[in-house]
Amino acid sequence: MAVDEAILIHHSKGDVPPTIRFYGWDPPAVSTGYFQDLQREIDLDACRRLGVGWVRRVTGGRAILHDQEVTYSVVASEDEFLVSGSVLQSYLKISRCLLEGLRILGINATMSTGRKSDHSSAACFDAPSRYELVVDNRKLIGSAQTRKYGCILQHGSIPIHLNVDKLFSVLKFTNEKLRERLQRDFARKAISLSEAGGRSYGYGEVVRALSRGFAGTFKIVLEEGTLTEEEEETARILMRDKYGTEKWNFDRKSS
């Protein structure tokens, strides 16, 4: 999360170009949406017991367990024509790239029309939003977006495997029957790459396919890069003063 925001800050200053980033999580962690109450939604004792970290995102949405997945992030100026427009319009443009990447992996996904849901679970993959990608009406990629400093940051979770038991172990519920019912519902509404494709996928294979999806759909040449020293320093500061603090993670008024 700190690195994504560091890229956003430095792109807004003109220091770095528009950036597509892919990364994983080790150890796993649960992230909550900007407006969620982390202490209310997440069982921190269970997280400690299972070796799962936690962090509040700068983007909205609901809780995601980041474990055995590829996470993507896109940072660009709001007037960058490849992703410009309203939130939904930029969602659509990025989803087309992800859709092509999935096609390369042999996965026949479609875009959700964004049916209404009661959002009874705190988990992100409980129901798809408009233009999120689904397979057989089961959500495969969950994304969220924010706009700051005249720029767009959109990031999303692409599970290679789904550990539903672990996810529902770190979420809080008022009683065990509710947990069990919502866990069964979730398992019917969410899907992983491996289940969707009927085979195992490696992290590198997924990243290469998604990169080709962005390059082919946007008709651009991607240049592999690393963080600048300035981005790394900003990320360290953000981790120390923001994402690693109780004030940010536990106080919804903190911005």
Which residues are known catalytic residues? 124
For residue 75, what are its two tokens?
A: 């940072």
Q: Cα angle at 217 between 216 and 218, to 5 degrees?
A: 95
Q: Note whether 70 and 61 are within 8 A (CB).
A: no
Q: Residue 113's Cα: distance from chain center in Å?
A: 19
For residue 110, what are its two tokens?
A: 């479609």
- As a residue count, the chain comes to 255
Q: Note whether 65 and 163 are within 8 A (CB).
A: yes
Helices (H), the chain: 2-12, 38-41, 44-50, 87-104, 164-170, 176-189, 193-197, 203-218, 229-238, 246-250
Taking the C-alpha atoms of residue 16 and residue 18, their distance in angstroms, rounded to an integer, is: 7
Residue 169: Cβ within 10 Å count: 17
